[in-house]
Chain A
Amino acid sequence: MSNSIATAEVERRSKVVSLQQAAGLVADGMRIGLGGFAIYQRPMAFVRELIRQRRKDLTVVGVTNSIEADMLIAAGTCSRLETSYMGFEKFGLAPAFRRACEKHGFDAVDYPELLAWDRFRADQEGLQFWPASGLGGTSLVELNPDIKAFDCPLTGKPLHALPATRLDIAVIHAAAADKYGNVIVPGFHNLPQSFDVTLSRSCRKLVVTAERIVSDNFLQRHARLVQIPAARVHAVVEVPFGAHPTSMLGRYLDDDTHWAQYIGAAKTEEGVAEYLKANVFDLASHDDYLDRIGGARLASLLQVDLQQ
């Protein structure tokens, strides 16, 4: 009989992978959710890697979408978008999306904003659909065969059933995660970070790109801020400035100069092809992308934020 202190026979698995490996988890034709909200905190490094790997026929499912979906549409990676808003807020309309709709009949499926969000909550609660009142008479229900009218079984009143998102995979960009996949969400956050949490609860396969992979010690000091526990996470990638050119609350501002470059380029098919060549295809890695943007520019975007 041994008195020795028990030692673990197996070691807890690190989920840290490369960006290339993480993007490899996405197969052609999948339904994908991308974290962040509108023009804020989108997993842009991951998006560029998907484009670099020439993925195609993805359906992007969101609440509000912007440059992450526009770039995927421009690259031919995304062929269908289900959302309530597709635009660039203060930067205007989404140019590649707009052209795809107007010239090529792109498959844009419109949902109301809160219900777009509730579709993810349906997945979270294990439901096939989310019930909605107040949609009668809208073109949203007339043009969308996935929304079904039904009568309330209790009152007989007309309702609509909106399908759960049934994502194959979701990707978020977070401020910090540990190597097992615990994700810290700043306490003083906004809807973009709240959507990341909803996404994490709605899907079966979640990829987290993070500004920094932090130590166990750091993580445990911030345990009350861990809204996405490790067991929900499939893979973790360290990607500093992984949301560029979108902003990262409390860490860096959006890069207005780069937004303007993209918008200028994306006005034409040739322009956006050149943009993608220079910023995606001609670059081997995210590090090369950051070098291309330049240290001085990136440094100028940094924030001092002590409110978290």
Chain B
Amino acid sequence: MNTPATLNELLVVTLAREFRNDEVGFTGLATGAAAALFATAIPLAAMQLARRTHAPDLTVLLAGWIYNPDLARLDELPDAEFAEKLRDLPCESQSLDYPGSWPHRNGAISFGFGSGVQVDACGNINSVLVGDPARPKVRLVGSILLPEHFSQFGREYIMMPRHDQRTFVEQVDYVAGVGYPGGLEGRARLGLESGGPELVVTPKCIFDFDKVAGRMKVRSIHPGVTADELRAATGFDLGDLSGVPQTAPPTERELEIIRREIDPRSALLGYDMASAQ
């Protein structure tokens, strides 16, 4: 009955299955087509799917200040964090001030979503600059909320719309959010007693972490992507990929919920990176 799942839908169900009931998920409002898709739209759709399948009490914090928004009302993803369009989106609560009605740093946020220009083998993320910090080759926006995401949220999903050797590097040029340097013990020595990246989501695969060794490893490879292609696109050694499974596809029911209830107007998942490239 259904047309096959798109990449966007595959990533939505993969994430949705990670979330548990009663959790609180935080997503910022990223701008730029691919970044907005990965860091905002796919996470929002995944949280909505989880709410409809197995986590009805999950709370969505959109842009950090809008609680449980009615996303099915959207014609398109808003591109301004503090403008009337987002303010007037139907929701359950709004946090209008800082510090607001939801604490961010005491374990109240179960998981968040972050992105950057580089991610490295131990899961450090960089959104600040490329090259030498004193005279960068490329200066970007800054760390924003990533330091908090990677240390004070329960766990972090790294959302990378590009998967190539420039973005997946052995060592990032600037650590905005800390992964597992020296593993969990290494984090503890830095004073990071909880949190940290959980998965890395890309157009080619899903990574998780060997948190003892402090190293990213491939958890599953998306349909149509070969192991060789994955190695060629990654700037660090991926080890033995022979036992790595394919990313599990959505069920018919999941696809139906996404298409009919969550994103009926393709406001969230309408952007197709493959055809845009």
For the complex, is B45 an interface residue (Cβ under 8 Å from A)? Answer: no
For the complex, is A268 an interface residue (Cβ under 8 Å from B)? Answer: no
Contacting B at CB under 8 A, from A124-164, are 133-140, 142-143, 157-159
Contacts of B177 in A (CB 8 A): 138
Chain A: residues with Cβ within 8 Å of the partner, total of: 57
Q: Are B84 and A110 interface neighbours, CB within 8 A?
A: no
* Known A38-B81, A140-B176; contact A84-B144, beta-carbon cutoff 8 A: yes
Contacts of B141 in A (CB 8 A): 85-87, 93-94
Contacts of A138 in B (CB 8 A): 143, 147, 175-178
Q: In the complex, A225 Cα to B81 Cα: how many Å? A: 23
Q: In the complex, A117 Cα to B97 Cα: how many Å? A: 11
Contacting A at CB under 8 A, from B78-133, are 79-84, 87-88, 96-98, 104-105, 124, 128-129, 133
- Least CB separation from B86: chain A residue: A190
**Interface class of chain B by DSSP:** loop
For the complex, is B224 an interface residue (Cβ under 8 Å from A)? Answer: no
A249 smallest CB distance to B (angstroms):
7
Contacts of B84 in A (CB 8 A): 249-250, 303, 305
Residue among B140, B142, B175 facing the most chain A CB atoms (10 A cut-off): B142
Q: In the complex, A142 Cα to B172 Cα: how many Å? A: 14
For the complex, is B241 an interface residue (Cβ under 8 Å from A)? Answer: no
Q: In the complex, A115 Cα to B65 Cα: how many Å? A: 17
Choose one: A40, A113, A247; the contact of B145 (CB below 8 Å). A113
Contacting B at CB under 8 A, from A57-100, are 64, 83-87, 89-90, 92-94, 97-98
Q: Are B96 and A143 interface neighbours, CB within 8 A?
A: no
A95 smallest CB distance to B (angstroms):
11
Choose one: B32, B146, B192; the contact of A137 (CB below 8 Å). B192
Contacts of A93 in B (CB 8 A): 139-141
- Least CB separation from A159: chain B residue: B191
| Binary contact readout A148-190 vs B (1 if CB under 8 angstroms, 0 otherwise) | 0000000001110000000000000000000000000000111
* Known A102-B135, A249-B84; contact A110-B191, beta-carbon cutoff 8 A: no
For the complex, is B187 an interface residue (Cβ under 8 Å from A)? Answer: yes
**Interface class of chain A by DSSP:** mixed
Contacts of A142 in B (CB 8 A): 175
- Least CB separation from A121: chain B residue: B99
For the complex, is B138 an interface residue (Cβ under 8 Å from A)? Answer: yes
For the complex, is B48 an interface residue (Cβ under 8 Å from A)? Answer: no
Chain B: residues with Cβ within 8 Å of the partner, total of: 49
Q: Are A110 and B128 interface neighbours, CB within 8 A?
A: yes
For the complex, is B148 an interface residue (Cβ under 8 Å from A)? Answer: yes
* Known A90-B31, A134-B152, A138-B175; contact A112-B96, beta-carbon cutoff 8 A: no
For the complex, is B151 an interface residue (Cβ under 8 Å from A)? Answer: yes
For the complex, is B190 an interface residue (Cβ under 8 Å from A)? Answer: yes
Contacts of B145 in A (CB 8 A): 84, 112-114
Choose one: A40, A94, A158, A307; the contact of B191 (CB below 8 Å). A158
* Known A134-B152, A135-B151, A194-B97; contact A158-B80, beta-carbon cutoff 8 A: no
For the complex, is A46 an interface residue (Cβ under 8 Å from B)? Answer: no
Choose one: A86, A89, A101, A105; the contact of B81 (CB below 8 Å). A89
A–B Cβ pairs within 8 angstroms, 26 of them: A38-B82, A39-B80, A64-B144, A87-B140, A89-B31, A90-B79, A94-B141, A101-B129, A101-B136, A102-B136, A102-B139, A110-B143, A112-B143, A134-B191, A135-B151, A137-B175, A138-B175, A138-B177, A139-B175, A190-B65, A191-B65, A192-B82, A194-B96, A194-B97, A249-B83, A307-B88
| Contacts A114-B148, A249-B83 known; 10 new A-B pairs at CB < 8 A | A90-B79, A98-B138, A110-B176, A133-B105, A136-B178, A137-B175, A137-B187, A139-B175, A191-B65, A191-B97
